[in-house]
Amino acid sequence: MTGFAGAGFIGNTALMHAARTKGYKQVAHLHGKMMPPTMILVEGKPKHSFRIYTDASDEYMFLISESMLQAESAWTIGQELMAWLKKTGLKEIVAFEGFPFAQKGIFGFTTGEKNLQGYGIQPITEGAVSGVNASLLYEAMKEGVDWTSVFVPARLLSTIDYQGIMDAVQVLNTMFRLDIDTEQLSRMSEAFTRATAARQQQQKRGSLLDRVLSR
């Protein structure tokens, strides 16, 4: 599964939450001149921004990046990743992405035989995949590896969209029966909503005061 930084930071945050909740271990990272010079703190420790996690049985693998990968590097990164993934016994790839959709619902497409509607995903016939996911999709098609893209509506684009993240985790639970707890995400979503409402109210009061003083 892939989760790269994008709209609402949905894909990367959902997979990172899943990895932490399930106790998955980091087994590798991606580093090189094509990667943005970014290090992040994870549980108080500096980590590479592009990390790979697996479960204890190596059945599931999460590719997570908090960096916005440059388009000109995407083809090469995708090719190198696919060459490495093939050595691990890769069977399919599921990509989670946040997209600025206006309508509600989870959308997606697959090159395999997955019954997307059975997982609560509305199949789409038009759209686009970009960046490293596009490169991986191209390589997957060449190698005969099943690919599924899951597009989660991002209500917030430039900050963390907790509702979108919970929606993505729900798909993970439904599709792979991972039983990932979302209580922490729900609390964070509620706290963010309250903070946003308070900030908006404060801005309204400030605007009203400015109008009064300007009379």
105-154 pLDDT, tens digit per residue, is 999 999 999 999 999 999 999 999 999 999 999 999 999 999 999 999 99
Of 5 and 191, which is predicted with more confidence?
5
Mean pLDDT of all residues belonging to the chain? 90
Q: What does the DSSP assignment read for the chain? A: -EEES-GGGHHHHHHHHHHHHHTPEEEEE--STTS-S-EEEETTEEEESEEEEE-TTS--EEEEE-S---HHHHHHHHHHHHHHHHTTT--EEEEEEEE--SS-SEEEEESS---GGGGTEEE-SS----HHHHHHHHHHHHHT-EEEEEEEE-S-SSS--HHHHHHHHHHHHHHH------HHHHHHHHHHHHHHHHHHHHHHHHHHHHHHHH-
Task: Render pLDDT for 144-159 as a digit per residue (tens, 0 to 9).
Answer: 999 999 999 998 878 8
Q: What is 2-181's CATH superfamily?
A: PAC-like subunit (3.40.50.10900)
Q: What's the confidence (pLDDT) of residue 206?
A: 61
For residues 190-215, give the mean pLDDT: 66
- Band the pLDDT of 18: cuts 50, 70, 90: very high
Annotated domain spans of the chain: 2-181, 182-215
Q: What is the pLDDT of residue 60?
A: 97
**pLDDT value at residue 156:** 81
- Mean pLDDT over 60-88 rounds to 95
Q: pLDDT of 86-101, one tens digit each?
A: 999 999 999 999 998 7
Average confidence (pLDDT) over 159-181:
94
